[in-house]
Structure 1
Amino acid sequence: MNKLHIVSSLMATLLLVAGCSLAPTYEKPDVNAPSAYKETPQQTLDASEAGTWKTAQPSEEMLRGEWWTIFDDATLNDLEKQAQDANQNLKATAARVKEARAINQTARAGLFPTLDAGFGPTREKFSPASQFLPADGNVPAQTLWRAQASVSYEVDLFGRVSNSVQAANADTQQSEALFRSVQLALQADVAQNYFNLRELDAETDVFTRTVQLREQALKLVQKRFTEGDISELDVARAKSELATARSDAMTVQRLRAASEHSLAVLLGKAPAEFSMAANPLKQVTVRVPPGLPSALLERRPDIAAAERAMAAANARIGVAKAAFFPSLTLTGSGGFESATLGDLFKWSSRTFLLGPFAGTALNIPIFDGGRRKGNLANARAVYEEDVANYRQQVLVAFREVEDNLSDLRILEGQTATQDDAVKASVRAAQLSRTQYTEGAVNYLDVIDAERTVLQTQRASVQLQGTQAISTVNLIRALGGGWGDAMPKPVAEPSLAQK
């Protein structure tokens, strides 16, 4: 009775510690987020936001909405929908989410007992010694029929199973956050490629007008040469400028073709299946409110993924620690057993077994050559790595927002200045052509003036393209849609549809 009492006390103690987690208490590390972005002009900050700290709350799953509709471009809206439905990278990422969910389901199965059933005969022969018979005793072979069910359950001592489930949950959430990150990157890439294509259309438009002007200039020069007013040198120079303009226009056409092919792949199409009509870019005037830096930690899906990886690594420290402590597995079986199939399901044929068929129910680790110690050290090192990766990801996110804020702030003034340069160069070219016709200047002055016009016009178009792409980059850096600036919030499509 004393031994039974000791065993019962030990089992009761083990059951009391079941589910007790050995994982460290998980807390997000401090990242020292600033109270405001450096590159945001102070006068544009909302009075309610300026200098106000907002504690970040997990909201990476918030509905992002169709943020690209703020550009009010029906073509872009259609392209984004096509990419959402057919992009292969997005489909692959959705499949990885399904993989993570399946692994999570496997891990959660450890919280429940396993139940098996079986039926069949067993042919066996016992030795005389096992039956307490003389050595020459004859024990005939026999066939036993069994119909049994068995159950097995690992008691969650020290939280090994629950921590494994927590790690799998965090892995699944990380995979879902990475899906949203890929989705956001795809949306931004489509918008950037689209605006780049339209920028090249605008450059093509500039070259078309330039070639027309050079053709007119060549006719004028040839006429003056025919009349004997100028030498053949001016004619050669005019032909050279015309040919150069045509060649540069072909370069832009080549770049446009490559950009169109890239956009086709983003839409999940072969380049041969996609073409887009020319549509010169107009200046994008959308202004994006960046909000508070602390909100960035909520919005960015890549930051959410890094944080979930950190949580999973923290839970796996608990799994590694639990390996140092005893494990308890409860097993049992019951059913029917008989020498003949006809007697198998009689009440007198019932049988049961409590406890493991082999080994012991309670296993206590004693020596493994340092394997468990190494596993624990590895789990802690992985967690430290994930903490560093998380903090680095936050720093990169802040830098990306600041970069695009500064780009847009500077571009706003630069585009206005470049417009002035375009107007001045056009006026200078008009004056130089007039003076050349009157014989006041030579043709080199006209060439220089026309080259300046082309350069300033191309620079103006490129700045408009850069401004549009920087706006998209800022939205991407902020994690997608934002606040009241979202015109049409919609539910995120289910992963099963990807």
Structure 2
Amino acid sequence: MPRFATLSLAALLLTGCATAPLAKASFETPAAFAGTTPAITPAPSQGTAWWLVFDDAVLNDLTARAMTRNNTIKLAAAHLEQAQALIRSSKADLWPQAGIGYQATTGANTATLSPGSQKPASAHGLGLDLSYEVDLSGRLSKAALAAKLDAQAQDALLKDTQLLIQSRVAESYFALRALDEDRAIVRDTLAAYRGSLDVTQRRFEEGDVAEIDVARMQAEVASTEAQAAALDQQRAQVAHALAVLVGEPASDFDIATVAWSSEPWASAVPVIPAGIPADVLQRRPDVTASYASLLAAQKRVGIAKAAWLPTLSLTASGGYASGDLGNLFEDTAKNWSLTGILSQAIFDGGRRNAGIDYAKGGLDAAFADYQQSTLVALSDVEDQLSDLTYLRQQQTAQDQAVSAASRALAMSQSRYTNGSSSQLEVLDAQRQLLAIRRQALKVRAAQYQSTVGLIRALGGGWTS
């Protein structure tokens, strides 16, 4: 007994050696982002429902449907459910295990009985078995903690998946609205071209213009009709992609066309402050998941090292055994046993050391993944901030270009009416205005896309 106590104490003292050194996720975050937001009053934080800042009922409905029907989110939720089940499974190893069994045997031993006198004998047994492994090295508790950290990582990945789907729904929705506006611009221009073609056709019939003018207008009408059809095709593709995000069949999915100017968010792009880098790393669910996985990997190094420490297993059994079922519960049929096994690995051909090396490799990989996730997170924010800065500059220039092109078209039409210019000049002015208006819309739509991208890069919120 004293030797057993001494060995148990030594095992407890060695427990500290089984704990892997804490992986210091030391990463120097910059004091501020290089890109900044405009110095105006920012939009209020909406917590997790960040899309409410756009105040769009259709977008709100699409996002709500995606949160309940999107299959990627369902898959991430299933993985979380599995991880939570593994927590319960690993915690069960910390408790005693109990089982009960009944055994009935009938047979004869022909080697010890004379011929003609073999009689089958019966034996009955009813017993309760108990087993318990004393967690001397902390291996079982570390395994339970590692499973808990894995579940935390899966929970963060679920939140990251939800944020990804939310942002993709918003980006697809704004792309759809931009296509609707683009189609309206092209159709307005197409209507103007068709009106010019009718006028040119009549003037040709009257002998006022040459046939080449008619051919030019016909080519422009046909080219613009092709552009309109291409936009219809793009609109259908975006709607189908949005249907998949929402978790609905594309055949049954439809969103009514709405004018860009009628949308509640059309007057101004919401301004989202970037905050500070350290806050972003705390908010981003993908960074949180990487850090939880890093801690779990660190615990598994400790588990692998604990494989070299002694293990103490206690087993107990008790019950009844009798050759006659009627006497099974008599006092004379009682039996019981108690066993304690203290074992220590001495040689295993390098298997345990290989397990330690494998766990250390997993820790190194988890540390590299965490550092990479922090770099990507900071880069995502900087990308979106710089995009928004340059897009605002482009928008200012594009607005000026639209105004100038509109004046040029008005002057060309006036000159054409007065006979001071040809139809080709008017056509060039119309073509230029169409291209500039479409480009201005593209820049405006990109601002909303980048705003959604910034919100996702910030982890779905922007409150410091």
Q: Deviations over 1:32-80 (max 9, x none)?
A: 111111001595799xxxxxxxxxxxxxxxx942110100111111111
Q: Which residue of 2 aligns with 1:425?
A: 405
The aligned length equals 452
**Alpha-carbon contact 1:18-1:159 (below 8 Å) kept:** no
Q: Which residue of 2 aligns with 1:83?
A: 66
Q: Does 1:118 align with 2:98?
A: no
Q: Which residue of 1 aligns with 2:88?
A: 105
Q: Does 1:222 align with 2:196?
A: no
**Alpha-carbon contact 1:28-1:307 (below 8 Å) kept:** no
Aligned 1:182-197 pairs, distance under 5 A: 182-197=161-176
Q: Deviations over 1:192-232 (max 9, x none)?
A: 11000000000011011101111121122223323322211
Q: 1:317 aligns with which of 276, 279, 301?
A: 301
Letter in 2 for 1:103: L
Q: Which residue of 2 aligns with 1:55?
A: none
CA distance in 2 between partners of 1:41 and 1:200 (Å): 27
Q: 1:333 aligns with which of 308, 314, 317?
A: 317
Q: Does 1:479 align with 2:459?
A: yes
Q: Which residue of 2 aligns with 1:406?
A: 386
Q: Does 1:202 align with 2:186?
A: no
Question: Residues 103 and 84 from structure 1, CA distance in 2 versus in 1: closer, same or farther, beyond 3 angstroms?
Answer: same
Question: Residues 85 and 5 from structure 1, CA distance in 2 versus in 1: closer, same or farther, beyond 3 angstroms?
Answer: closer
Comparing 404-413 with 202-211, greater Cα deviation is found at 404-413
SS at match of 1:336: strand
Per-residue deviation, 1:466? 0.5
**Alpha-carbon contact 2:281-2:374 (below 8 Å) kept:** yes
Per-residue deviation, 1:183? 0.4
CA distance in 2 between partners of 1:127 and 1:292 (Å): 87
Per-residue deviation, 1:338? 2.1
Comparing 192-201 with 115-124, greater Cα deviation is found at 115-124
Q: Does 1:384 align with 2:372?
A: no
Q: 2:7 aligns with which of 6, 10, 15?
A: 10
Q: Which residue of 1 aligns with 2:415?
A: 435
**Alpha-carbon contact 2:14-2:309 (below 8 Å) kept:** no
Q: Does 1:144 align with 2:123?
A: yes
CA distance in 1 between partners of 2:384 and 2:443 (Å): 14
CA distance in 2 between partners of 1:158 and 1:140 (Å): 54
CA distance in 1 between partners of 2:312 and 2:182 (Å): 74
**Alpha-carbon contact 2:133-2:312 (below 8 Å) kept:** yes
**Alpha-carbon contact 1:202-1:280 (below 8 Å) kept:** yes
Q: 1:293 aligns with which of 273, 277, 294?
A: 277
Q: Deviations over 1:397-444 (max 9, x none)?
A: 101101111111221222122111111101101111221232322232
CA distance in 2 between partners of 1:326 and 1:406 (Å): 58
Per-residue deviation, 1:307? 0.7
CA distance in 1 between partners of 2:6 and 2:110 (Å): 38
Q: Does 1:65 align with 2:82?
A: no
SS at match of 1:355: strand
Per-residue deviation, 1:124? 7.7
Question: Residues 460 and 188 from structure 1, CA distance in 2 versus in 1: closer, same or farther, beyond 3 angstroms?
Answer: same
Instruction: Please list every run of 5 or more consecutive structure 1 residues that lacks an aligned counterpart in the other structure.
Output: 47-62, 134-138, 485-498
Letter in 2 for 1:40: T
Q: Which residue of 2 aligns with 1:277?
A: 256
Comparing 193-202 with 160-169, greater Cα deviation is found at 160-169
Q: Does 1:354 align with 2:334?
A: no
CA distance in 2 between partners of 1:312 and 1:477 (Å): 25
CA distance in 2 between partners of 1:32 and 1:6 (Å): 51
User: How high is the sequence identity, in percent, across the aligned residues?
Assistant: 37
Per-residue deviation, 1:280? 3.1
Question: Residues 259 and 45 from structure 1, CA distance in 2 versus in 1: closer, same or farther, beyond 3 angstroms?
Answer: closer
Q: Which residue of 1 aligns with 2:115?
A: none
CA distance in 1 between partners of 2:119 and 2:347 (Å): 44
Per-residue deviation, 1:171? 0.8
Q: Which residue of 2 aligns with 1:40?
A: 36
Per-residue deviation, 1:18? 9.1
Q: Deviations over 1:259-287 (max 9, x none)?
A: 11111111111111111111133434200
**Alpha-carbon contact 2:15-2:306 (below 8 Å) kept:** no
Q: Which residue of 1 aligns with 2:136?
A: 157
Q: Which residue of 2 aligns with 1:29?
A: 25
Q: Which residue of 2 aligns with 1:237?
A: 216
**Alpha-carbon contact 1:21-1:158 (below 8 Å) kept:** no
Per-residue deviation, 1:177? 0.7
CA distance in 2 between partners of 1:379 and 1:8 (Å): 31
SS at match of 1:40: coil
Instruction: Please list every run of 5 or more consecutive structure 2 residues that lacks an aligned counterpart in the other structure.
Output: 113-117
CA distance in 2 between partners of 1:415 and 1:291 (Å): 25
Q: 1:74 aligns with which of 39, 50, 57?
A: 57
Letter in 2 for 1:334: G
CA distance in 2 between partners of 1:220 and 1:42 (Å): 49
Comparing 4-13 with 305-314, greater Cα deviation is found at 4-13
Q: Does 1:374 align with 2:354?
A: yes
CA distance in 2 between partners of 1:13 and 1:460 (Å): 75
**Alpha-carbon contact 1:188-1:476 (below 8 Å) kept:** yes
Letter in 1 for 2:55: D
**Alpha-carbon contact 1:281-1:465 (below 8 Å) kept:** no
Q: CA RMSD in A?
A: 2.5
Letter in 1 for 2:328: L
SS at match of 2:209: coil
Question: Residues 42 and 226 from structure 1, CA distance in 2 versus in 1: closer, same or farther, beyond 3 angstroms?
Answer: closer
Letter in 2 for 1:304: T
**Alpha-carbon contact 2:133-2:314 (below 8 Å) kept:** yes
Q: Does 1:308 align with 2:308?
A: no
SS at match of 1:466: helix
CA distance in 2 between partners of 1:458 and 1:7 (Å): 84
Per-residue deviation, 1:103? 1.5
Q: Does 1:251 align with 2:249?
A: no
